[in-house]
Structure 1
Amino acid sequence: MAANPSTLTGRRAWHDGARSPLESARLLRVAGLTLEYRVRERVVRATQQVSFDVYERDRFVLLGPSGCGKSTLLKAIAGFVTPASGSIELDAQPIHGPGPDRVVVFQEFDQLPPWKTVLENVAFPLRVAKKLSRAEAKERAAHFLEKVGLADFAKAYPLTLSGGMKQRVAIARALAMQPRVLLMDEPFAALDALTRRRMQEELLRLSDEAPFTLLFVTHSIEEALIVGNRIALLSPHPGRVRAELNSHQYAQHSVGRRDFQEAVARIHRLLFEEEERRS
């Protein structure tokens, strides 16, 4: 059973003018979702009866340890994995495959074709999926490169960029598609600590400037509290929703505070208390 939303916060806290889910339109519904995949001759169950709702302009985080099925769950929402049972709906319509209304940013740095410039990397999907003209695609690509602070690197090639810069290009490319939901699968996990912190700040800034709905996967409790306004905690083997928590009041400036560290400890207990009791 999911925890009461006030479990973590001690109150229902909605800051910076953000609306609670009760005041927002539901955009995405995941209901009773069981996901399986085959490894050689064996069928592995990744998630078991997972359910949650994502609302317009949510920053919804799937948080859990390795092996809890969170990346498989994201791929199913993207339309790349067919559920064994349960359903996924976007705008009350079932998802049966990939579509431009959902765009994924992965953690790998090699998701950018190296033979295309930064501008071309962002513009190309706009021409293919959105059917924009070359001029329209370049104009929109340039706009979103400016949003992520890479306007001066439009003519550069991916091999000349740092890991953080490549991820900013990937984010610009995703946002330029103007998806209903931006899906991010541990996008900052391979970055060093300082770059990761800077990318978290960039993501929150972009969310404030041009609000979008975000579904974010991470195994870092601290990152979940910083990035998300709502967090679903997934237990491992197979993944189930152990609790769903509100985290609106936390951000980068909260990291050193006592209440932030207490929240980290509470989430750790919720995630691991069952496994610790068994051991």
Structure 2
Amino acid sequence: MNATTTQDWIAPRASQRTATADSRDARAASNAAAADQSGTVYSERLLAVDRVSLEYRTRERIVRATRDVSFDVYGADRFVLLGPSGCGKSTLLKAIAGFIEPVSGTITLDGERVRGPGADRVVVFQEFDQLPPWKTVVENVAFPLRVARGCSRSQAKERALHYLDKVGLANFADAYPHTLSGGMKQRVAIARALAMQPRVLLMDEPFAALDALTRRKMQEELLRLWDDARFTLLFVTHSIEEALIVGNRILLLSPHPGRVRAELNSHQYSLQSIGDSIGRHDFQQSVARIHRLLFDTDALTPQEEHA
């Protein structure tokens, strides 16, 4: 893979991102045939973000959110964008979703350039109120299936009930969103997203507003769902611990404007890493090392220092 191991934490040099399309395709083909020690076979590259710079406008000025960010996401990846507030990670996710157009660089999905929103990319946001309150839970999940996927009413309801059962909410199918807790609303949003069977599931700090116990439960649920369906996940967070638990690969972004600091593997960690005494020590060491990479200015590359 093009990620570093946890024993080899390096910030990418500019030269590492000047490969030709042929060499990137060759690397993807090599990854498709490779397997890690756990036996997981990596598929070909699904999403490619190549030297993407993003901007957004405020009342006072134009703000540069990211600068020359590049990374690849492969099928069944749990890829995490991690960085401090304001580093542009949510803006990157919105650009991948097709809501924002890069000022430079390209974003491609299955080799096709992303030029707008599409049903192949579904977003789960942080806000709890992303469900229309006048629709029941099952109607919230079924509606996009009818509109975007062309399912019949009966087909959409059947699929909606299937995914509500997956997230443990089959008994709340006829409830309205205002009767649900924050965590339950997020589970409905996840069921709605998974029911669409997108090429990439995009999650923008989906558990950040939850209390600690509910957040842990939602992390467990997400990993269980991934283990069952092996969907491709792009997950945004500013929590180092959550990134290590949820992701199998992590991209570290510098403080504003966001630039790539490092890319690393984290597949060896899970929620059990926190409970086990030996695993917890290794986990906390990794948390500390990531913190240094994110915030230690002495670790900046010459390109970052002068960008």
Q: TM-score range by the shorter chain?
A: over 0.9
Per the alignment, residue 266 of structure 1 pairs with 289
Per the alignment, residue 125 of structure 1 pairs with 144
Structure 1, residues 122-148: CA drift from partner, whole Å, max 9, x if none? Answer: 000000000100000000000000000
Of 235, 242, 264 in structure 2, the residue corresponding to residue 245 of structure 1 is 264
Q: Distance in 1 between matches of 2:219 and 2:296?
A: 28
Which residue type is aligned with residue 152 of structure 1?
N
Offset of residue 6 of structure 1: 1.7
Secondary structure of 1:50's aligned partner: strand
Q: 1:57-68 alignment to 2 at 5 Å?
A: 57-68=76-87
Task: Provide TM-score, normalisation by structure 1.
Answer: 0.94
Secondary structure of 2:168's aligned partner: coil
Which residue type is aligned with residue 199 of structure 2?
R
- Structure 1: tracts of 5 or more residues without a match: none
Which residue type is aligned with residue 5 of structure 2?
S
Structure 1, residues 203-239: CA drift from partner, whole Å, max 9, x if none? Answer: 0000000110000000000000000000000001100
Q: Distance in 1 between matches of 2:211 and 2:3?
A: 35
Q: Distance in 2 between matches of 1:108 and 1:228?
A: 21
Q: 1:96-135 alignment to 2 at 5 Å?
A: 96-135=115-154
Q: Distance in 1 between matches of 2:37 and 2:159?
A: 31
Per the alignment, residue 201 of structure 2 pairs with 182
**Mapped pair 1:171 → 2:190:** yes
Offset of residue 7 of structure 1: 3.7
Which residue type is aligned with residue 270 of structure 1?
L
**Mapped pair 1:6 → 2:29:** no
Of 147, 167, 189 in structure 2, the residue corresponding to residue 148 of structure 1 is 167
Q: Relative contact order: is structure 1 or structure 2 higher (C-alpha 8 Å, sep ≥ 6)?
A: 1
Task: Provide TM-score, normalisation by structure 2.
Answer: 0.85
Secondary structure of 1:156's aligned partner: coil
Q: Distance in 2 between matches of 1:183 and 1:44?
A: 23
Q: Distance in 2 between matches of 1:103 and 1:148?
A: 17
Going from structure 1 to structure 2, the CA distance change for 1:127 and 1:255 (only over 3 Å counts) comes to same
Offset of residue 15 of structure 1: 5.9
**Mapped pair 1:218 → 2:217:** no
Q: Distance in 1 between matches of 2:60 and 2:164?
A: 46
Q: Distance in 2 between matches of 1:250 and 1:74?
A: 24
**Mapped pair 1:158 → 2:177:** yes
**Mapped pair 1:25 → 2:48:** no
Q: Distance in 1 between matches of 2:105 and 2:156?
A: 37
Secondary structure of 2:296's aligned partner: helix
- Check whether the contact 1:28–1:54 (CA below 8 A) recurs between aligned residues: yes
Secondary structure of 1:255's aligned partner: helix
Which residue type is aligned with residue 88 of structure 2?
G
The ranges of structure 1 where at least 4 consecutive aligned residues each deviate by more than 6 angstroms after the TM superposition are: 275-278
Q: Distance in 1 between matches of 2:86 and 2:187?
A: 27
Aligned length: 272
Secondary structure of 2:222's aligned partner: helix
Going from structure 1 to structure 2, the CA distance change for 1:123 and 1:15 (only over 3 Å counts) comes to farther
Secondary structure of 2:122's aligned partner: strand
Offset of residue 40 of structure 1: 1.6
**Mapped pair 1:196 → 2:195:** no
Structure 1, residues 36-55: CA drift from partner, whole Å, max 9, x if none? Answer: 01112411000000000000
Of 100, 112, 132 in structure 2, the residue corresponding to residue 81 of structure 1 is 100
Q: Distance in 1 between matches of 2:241 and 2:47?
A: 25
